[in-house]
Amino acid sequence: MNTELTAMTAAQCQQRLKELIIAKALRFGDFTLASGQKSSYYIDGRQVTLDGEGAYCLARCLLELLKGEEVEAVGGMAIGADPISGATAAVAASLGRKLDAFMVRKEPKAHGTGQQVEGPLAEGARVAMVEDTVTTGGSTLQAIAAVENERRAEVVIVLAMVDRLQGAAEAFAEAGYRFRPVFTVADLGVQTEAQE
């Protein structure tokens, strides 16, 4: 075990996560986002969430945001949320906190159990939805609908590694969900489209 990494405080993990996002995930150019919007920058969250150090630091940051929240599981829309959910559940276990992970398929399975929500998510569980990067919040709102409909879960809070500041916070608030990002694009030193 990397004792230097595990000895880091939550604040140190947040600073290291920021460094990793800027170094590995932030790209500039001409991009089309999942929302269909065009952008001059892109955050490839998987470059951080599938990196061992990045996954650990993000999990520590999310667990810090979840302090005082009574949640039993974390999850979100496949594929983006999958490594985040798994890492957060694993790091929580290492810190003595019971927290399961789940994933939401874009469509219910056409075979087997036919579920859209996978994992040890109990009926009526209190959950936190997680995502790497949010723009309008549309994918996360779809995932929320699935866990509420299929498992009658209670969504306590929505967490994201990065908020692009393009309407997700407002969409979550309008739908009645609390939202907390670890970072906004402004925190990463990115000039948003609205500022250009």
**8 Å CB contact between 143 and 171:** no
Residue 195 lies in a domain: no
Mean pLDDT by 10 residues, the chain (196 residues): 77 96 96 85 96 97 96 95 97 95 85 80 95 94 95 97 96 97 95 55
* Measured distance CA(109)–CA(38) in Å, rounded: 31
Can you give the pLDDT at residue 3?
A: 60
Residue 18 lies in a domain: yes
CATH number of 20's domain: 3.40.50.2020
Residue 194 lies in a domain: no
Backbone phi, psi, residue 90, to 5°: -70, -45
The number of beta carbons lying within 10 Å of the beta carbon of residue 61 is 23
Can you give the pLDDT at residue 153?
A: 96
**Residue 171 structural domain:** 3-188
Residue 154 lies in a domain: yes
Can you give the pLDDT at residue 195?
A: 42
Residue 9 lies in a domain: yes
Can you give the pLDDT at residue 1?
A: 46
| Domain count for the chain | 1
Residue 38 lies in a domain: yes
Residue 179 lies in a domain: yes
Can you give the pLDDT at residue 37?
A: 82
* Measured distance CA(177)–CA(130) in Å, rounded: 13
Residue 184 lies in a domain: yes
Can you give the pLDDT at residue 117?
A: 93
Q: For the chain, how many residues are written?
A: 196
pTM: 0.92
